[in-house]
Amino acid sequence: MALTQMQLIQSLGESMAWFERELNWGVPPTELRHLCGRIGELYTALITNGQMATQVNQHGYDVVSSEGERISVKTTAMMGASGHVSFNANSLSLVDRIVVLRVNTEEMQIETLLNAPVAEVAELFSEANGKYILSFSKLVKFHRPKSELKCLRQVSFEDYTVREIENGSIEVERSGELLSPTVPALRSLAKELGIQMLNGNGNPYNTRQLGDQIIKFLGAI
């Protein structure tokens, strides 16, 4: 049965909430591949105004867009440029478009690493054991230098500087050095300031939420 757009939105929200709950229970993202894949398929169906494949483990593709494109969706929770996704060489001819997504477990948001027709992606493939391999390192996209993005809010404490960039990201510098990943630095700073790091449901704040708490706290001093 075809899902309405509202049903896709609801199902995606429920799947993301369950994914976050599993992470908070200490389950590694690598053990949540099925749920991660479901999130990616729902998200792709939503943004293409399409439908997920009518059969479980549909041969070759996962989503059919409103324009009739057959889309193969790969979703990962791995951060950084390591890792890869693979495609069955025997069924790739059934696919029109490839979408590669990442569930950012720090921000709890879905990021698009690739959204392109198969013909445009073919040159990025390597081949092994009847599969086409696509390395994440080849999907590094151009990002506007953060120095070009407007800073919305900025606070300082001792040798720390915390700022919110106009794309919603939180940056932390210590003694002029940009810290990455951001979450450990924010948690260390929050602990020093005595700021609560859990939300009303008892779950840890993500990067943007914790950054917002710290900026508000220091801004009020």
**Per-residue pLDDT, 89:** 87
* Count: domains in the chain: 2
Asked if residue 73 lies in contact with residue 101, where contact means CB atoms within 8 angstroms, the answer is yes
For residues 28 and 60, membership in a common domain is answered with: yes
Regions of the chain with pLDDT less than 70: 1, 55-58, 140-147
Domain end (from 139, 164, 184): 139
User: Can you give the pLDDT at residue 140?
Assistant: 65
**What secondary structure does DSSP assign to the chain, as a single string?**
-PPPHHHHHHHHHHHHHHHHHHHHTT--GGG-HHHHHHHHHHHHHHHTT-EE-SSTT-SS-SEE-TT--EEEEEEE---SS--EEEEETTTGGG-SEEEEEEEETTTTEEEEEEEEEHHHHGGG-EEETTEEEEEGGGGPPP---GGGSPEEEEEEETTEEEEEETTS-EEEEETTEEPSSHHHHHHHHHHHHT---B-TTSPBP-HHHHHHHHHHHHHT-
* Residue that is last in its domain, among 122, 139, 156: 139
Residues 119 and 204 in one domain: no
Token pair listed for 165? 């960039």
What tens digit of pLDDT does each residue of 39-52 get? 999 999 999 999 98
Query: Which bin fits 159, alpha (ψ -120 to 50), beta or left (φ > 0)?
Result: alpha
105 with 176, same domain: the answer is no
For residue 69, give the CATH number of its domain: 3.40.1350
- Residues 214, 160: one domain? yes
* The model's pTM: 0.76
Which residues span the domain enclosing 162?
146-219
Q: Taking the chain, what is the end-to-end CA distance rounded to the nearest angstrom? A: 56
Instruction: Assess whether 68 and 156 both reside in one domain.
Output: no
Burial class (CB in 10 A: 0-12, 13-18, 19+), 160: buried
Supply the pLDDT for residue 55. Answer: 67
pLDDT of amino acid 43: 97
Of 98, 117, 139, which residue is a domain's last? 139
173 and 112 co-located in one domain: no
pLDDT digits (tens, 9 = 90+) for 188-201: 999 999 999 988 87
Of residues 57, 48, 53, the one with CA closest to residue 5: 48
